[in-house]
Amino acid sequence: MAAPKPLIEVQDLKVHFFTRDGVVRAVDGVDYGVNPGETLGIVGESGSGKTVSSLAMLRLVPPPARTVGGRILFEGEDLLTRTPKQMAALRGRRIAMIFQNPATSLNPIYSIGAQLSEILVWHEKASRRQAEERVAELLNLVGITDPLTRLRQFPHELSGGMKQRVGIARALLCNPALVLADEPTTALDVTIQAQILELLADLQARFHMSMVLVTHDMGVVARMANRITVMYAGRVCETADAATIFSAPQHPYTRALLESMPRIDQSYSRGARQKLPTIAGRPPNLLNPPAGCRFHDRCPEAIADCRRILPVETAIAPGHTVSCIRRGSPGIAA
């Protein structure tokens, strides 16, 4: 059976921040794709380029950042060649985003009803009454009680969990083909996190949409993702289906992330007998990234070649790619 054609493909994407101190290579040659109906989890430490690569899909990278290379093919068309007007017509309608912090992504001076109705008026040419009815329907669908009352309320009158549900409803108003979920549970307590994840899974199945789930939480991707891309210092380390990532990770950074997760079947203490493993050191400064593999100075398996050869992502099995010369990846000499 032929592999499904990706809904969106990111090819050799490069996003750099042009600062007074120099050029920060926040995303430096990233490749990944999302198939119709699947969830791709993108994981990694803060500063790995997860959010920036997602914002680049919507052409929303903030100044002083610029997309300086690569292609983003959505339904076969390169988004980086579209005009601002064409992108405005696409955002919210075919590709939508659930932002990391709903408290800052909602406008504090407009009611919930006004903010969400505007999307339908713009994209669907709906009347104000039709738009409000659709918004109320979506608010009810995402578990917000008394939606007609909520339409008249302002963001500061809602709890964090309710704001996040409003953000999810906003993303789904136009039945998008792709939803970008940027750390959708970070600011929420554990109980609300579980409810939001269950809601997202149910809505994805209901609307048959694809999803890019950006997170640093391996537990979240274990629950939600079909495939996982692991990023470090602006580059992709490894991509595979979720079962393979958790059962047979190949890149040392992927293994280090998994080993640093607390396990329910183990106890941890301050003593030497049982301490939670950590990844030594810090991510590199992307103003002046190290030669060779970006992870080499924190990697327990690093050899001399790792310090001078930048590994290129290569397939080691169907659907499984790794960027590590110890795993047979070709490289570019510094």
Quick one: 147 and 256 in the same domain?
Answer: no
13 plus 79 within the same structural domain: yes
- Tell me which of 2-6, 73-77, 215-219, 323-327 is least confident: 2-6
CA distances in angstroms from 211 to 156, 221, 305, listed in the order given: 28, 12, 37
In a domain, 29, yes or no: yes
Of 67-71, 237-241, 273-277, the poorest mean pLDDT is in: 273-277
Q: Tokens 């104000």 correspond to what residue?
A: 128
| Model pLDDT, residue 332 | 80
**pLDDT digits over 163-174, tens only?**
999 999 999 999
pLDDT > 70? residue 265 = no
Distance CA(71)–CA(55), nearest Å, equals 14
Q: Which domain holds residue 52?
A: 8-94+177-262+273-333
| Residue 142 confidence (pLDDT) | 92
Percent of the chain with pLDDT over 90: 76
In percent, the amount of the chain with pLDDT more than 70 equals 95
Higher pLDDT, 190 or 234: 234
**Mean pLDDT, range 179-198, rounded to an integer:** 86
9: left (phi over 0), alpha (psi -120 to 50) or beta: beta
Find which of 8-12, 256-260, 277-281, 330-334 is predicted with most confidence, using mean pLDDT.
8-12
In order of 68, 101, 108, 306, the CA distances from 289 in angstroms are 17, 29, 39, 14
Amino acid 270: pLDDT: 58
Query: 311 and 166, same structural domain?
Result: no
Average pLDDT rounded to a whole number, residues 63-81: 96
**Residue 310: inside a domain, yes or no?**
yes
**pLDDT surpassing 70 at residue 34:** yes
Q: What does pLDDT average to over the chain?
A: 91
Same-domain status, 161 and 55:
no
The pLDDT of residue 261 is 81
- For the segment 252-264, the average pLDDT, to the nearest whole number, is 87
Do both 121 and 184 map to the same domain? no
- More reliable by pLDDT, 102 or 43: 43
Mean pLDDT of 176-185: 93
Same domain, 150 and 296: no
Helix (H) or strand (E) holding 9: strand 8-19
Q: Are residues 65 and 21 in the same domain?
A: yes
Radius of gyration of the chain (CA): 21
Count structural domains, the chain: 2
Domain end, chosen from 117, 147, 173, is at 173
Which pLDDT belongs to residue 3? 64
Query: CB neighbours of 16 closer than 8 A, spacing ≥ 6?
Result: 23, 24, 25, 26, 27, 28, 65, 66, 68
